[in-house]
């Protein structure tokens, strides 16, 4: 395994300035990224946490998923008053979802390890599973490559109600068939059989989407000690009750602060991945079918977006006290709840998450807390041996692909293969014809203005015909060099699908099928990763 860092283009203005500690952006955060965290430890010492109840809840839920011993050891370390956590989260996608989920967990583990060595205290890596999320369409698929095209491979399990992923039972027969079809599409390797058996075992011992996700994570991370937290677990909901009361009581100010900050950020020219309105309550209500209903606040009424439910503030507080499992958080209140539950040394997030966290500083203050340090996660592109051979054949490096320069390389190569340089010949013909056309345009213009316009239109039509000829010639050349051109397509599909980072499209399945399930553990043996680097390329 070889690893090197590279620079990525097209980062948002907000992220560029955040990573550079620009004051214009840093005013939206409490701590600067990449700086020593001793001040954060001092701040955490002023807070009290229900460590015993947290330890018991985490122990109970993780035990359900048969975790490694290192996970139990880390859970027990939370009883130590000096211990802290590094946390990040994601939805429970099938086979872990896109690669960025795996990359985020790797980031959490590595950052926790680095900080434990620097601070000489227990630092526990925690992954927050957003099990309360209800959008099945977001997690019921992966992408696979079929006939050199990107195909969405969907699990056709349907749900009537918008229930939390923690409550949706898996159709195991359908899921097994879905996994088998995905592996057949990828093609058999020396790792395929063991991979299928591992995934099948995870499936057979799972009941829900969250169960399956959690067991797949422990299969990939058998010794790193990652602690999983399902935000929808009843034991966690019970611990969240006091903060739900606070969120309900402070809802108006929280919503106003977030809305005004979001508007200010946009007015300052930043892109924001968060849509909020002044009347958003930022809390979900779960009905008798456990379907999640996002609430808005109108006066003293908490009303469903489609007016499915109407509750008073008194009734909301009663729910928080007696049945907190009937409430859950959205993207605005989830970070606040996370901060309430966990002694958070740092939060690890993607660029999109960091942009919407920029709206939350004053919302944290409304709940008498500081926003934790927000650290951009590590980003990886994985280059399999098969892809590396193609890159070598084309004499192209990975950075060229990631910087969206592959098509230019492809066209340059194509033109260099022709006996006559089509592009240059056609362009020169256009210039020559345009020059030869000038006298007739002048003559036509002198006859009448409409004839002058007609002459100009005639030149445009000639140029269109030349472009048509050029495209026909290029297509003919494409056929002649089809095999070599397909190498370019394969590289782009594997490393920069749809001109997006690999981690945003592909799941780990393809890498596991080509390199084995141990690739994550191998990567974790290397601790010299810098969180200040844009991106890492991992070659097998």
Q: Are 265 and 358 in contact (CB under 8 A)?
A: yes
Average pLDDT of span 47-73 = 97
CATH code of 1-29+48-275+324-379+509-540, in short, is 3.40.50.620
Distance CA 110, CA 126 (A): 12
Give 67-126 pLDDT, tens digit per residue: 999 999 999 999 999 999 999 999 999 999 999 999 999 999 999 999 999 999 999 999
Q: How far is CA 301 from CA 252, 298, 305, 493, in A?
A: 12, 5, 12, 50
pTM: 0.88
Q: What are phi and psi of 419, to 5 degrees?
A: -65, -40
pLDDT of 189 higher than 60: yes
CB environment 362-387: b (16+ within 10 A), e (fewer): bbbebbebbbbbbbbbbbbbbbbeeb
The average confidence (pLDDT) of the chain is: 92
* Gyration radius of the chain's alpha carbons: 28
In the chain, CATH 3.40.50.620 covers 1-29+48-275+324-379+509-540
Distance CA 261, CA 255 (A): 10
Residue 190 DSSP symbol: T
Q: What pLDDT does residue 273 have? A: 83
pLDDT of 524 higher than 90: yes
Classify strands 327-329 and 280-286 as parallel, antiparallel or unpaired: antiparallel
| Edge-first strand listing for the sheet containing 301-304 | 310-312, 301-304, 292-298, 280-286, 327-329
Beta bridge partners of 43: none
Average pLDDT of span 255-284 = 94
Residue 149 host element (H or E): strand 149-154
Give 441-477 pLDDT, tens digit per residue: 888 888 888 888 898 899 899 989 988 988 888 787 7
Distance CA 259, CA 362 (A): 11
Average pLDDT of span 178-190 = 95
Nearest 5°: the CA angle 318, 340, 166 is 70
Q: What pLDDT does residue 420 have? A: 57
Q: Is 234 exposed, middle or buried (0-12, 13-18, 19+ CB in 10 A)?
A: middle
% the chain with pLDDT above 70: 99
Torsion of the alpha carbons at 247, 123, 208 and 153, rounded to the nearest 10: 100
Distance CA 524, CA 521 (A): 5
Residue 236: which of 128, 91, 162 has the closest Cα?
A: 128
């Amino acid at each position: 395994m070889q690893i090197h860092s590279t620079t990525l283009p097209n980062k948002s203005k907000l992220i560029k300035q955040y990573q550079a500690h620009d004051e214009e952006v840093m005013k939206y955060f409490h701590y600067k990224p990449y700086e020593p965290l001793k001040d954060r430890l001092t701040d955490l010492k002023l807070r009290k946490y229900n460590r015993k109840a947290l330890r018991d809840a985490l122990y109970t839920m993780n035990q359900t998923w048969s975790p490694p011993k290192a996970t139990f050891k880390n859970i027990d370390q939370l009883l130590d008053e000096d211990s802290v956590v590094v946390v990040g989260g994601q939805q429970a996608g099938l086979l872990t979802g896109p690669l960025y989920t795996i990359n985020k967990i790797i980031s959490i583990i590595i950052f926790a390890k680095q900080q434990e060595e620097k601070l000489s205290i227990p630092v526990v890596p925690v992954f927050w599973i957003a099990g309360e999320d209800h959008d099945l369409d977001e997690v019921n698929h992966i992408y696979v490559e079929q006939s050199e095209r990107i195909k969405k491979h969907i699990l056709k399990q349907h749900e009537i109600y918008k229930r939390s992923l923690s409550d949706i039972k898996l159709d195991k027969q359908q899921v097994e068939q879905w996994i088998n079809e995905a592996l057949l599409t990828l093609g058999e390797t020396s790792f395929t059989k063991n991979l299928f058996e591992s995934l099948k075992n995870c499936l057979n011992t799972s009941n829900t989407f969250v169960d399956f996700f959690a067991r797949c994570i422990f299969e990939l991370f058998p010794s790193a000690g990652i602690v999983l937290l399902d935000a929808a677990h009843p034991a966690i909901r019970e611990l969240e009750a006091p903060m739900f009361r606070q969120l309900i009581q402070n809802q108006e100010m929280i919503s106003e602060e977030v809305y005004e900050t979001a508007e200010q950020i946009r007015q300052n020219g930043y892109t924001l991945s968060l849509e909020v309105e002044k009347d958003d309550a930022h809390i979900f209500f779960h009905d008798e079918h456990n379907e999640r209903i996002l609430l808005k606040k109108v006066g003293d009424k908490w009303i469903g977006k489609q007016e499915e439910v109407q509750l008073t503030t008194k009734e909301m507080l009663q729910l928080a006290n007696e049945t907190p499992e009937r409430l859950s958080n959205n993207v605005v209140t989830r970070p606040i709840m996370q901060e309430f539950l966990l002694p958070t040394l740092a939060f690890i997030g993607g660029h999109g998450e960091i942009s919407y966290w920029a709206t939350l500083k004053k919302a944290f203050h409304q709940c008498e807390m500081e926003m934790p340090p927000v650290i951009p996660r590590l980003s990886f592109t994985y280059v399999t041996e098969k892809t590396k051979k193609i890159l070598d054949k084309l004499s192209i490096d990975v950075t060229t692909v990631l910087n969206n320069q592959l098509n230019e390389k492809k066209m340059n190569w194509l033109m260099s293969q022709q006996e006559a340089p089509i592009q240059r010949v056609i362009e020169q013909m256009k210039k020559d014809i345009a020059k030869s056309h000038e006298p007739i345009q002048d003559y036509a213009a002198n006859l009448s203005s409409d004839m002058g316009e007609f002459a100009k239109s005639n030149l445009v039509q000639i140029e269109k015909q030349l472009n048509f000829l050029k495209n026909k010639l290029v297509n003919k050349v494409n056929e002649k060099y089809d095999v070599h051109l397909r190498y370019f397509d394969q590289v782009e599909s594997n490393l920069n699908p749809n001109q997006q980072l690999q981690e945003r499209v592909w799941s780990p399945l393809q890498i596991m099928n080509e390199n084995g399930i141990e690739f994550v553990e191998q990567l974790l043996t290397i601790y010299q990763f810098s969180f200040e680097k844009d991106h890492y390329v991992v070659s097998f």
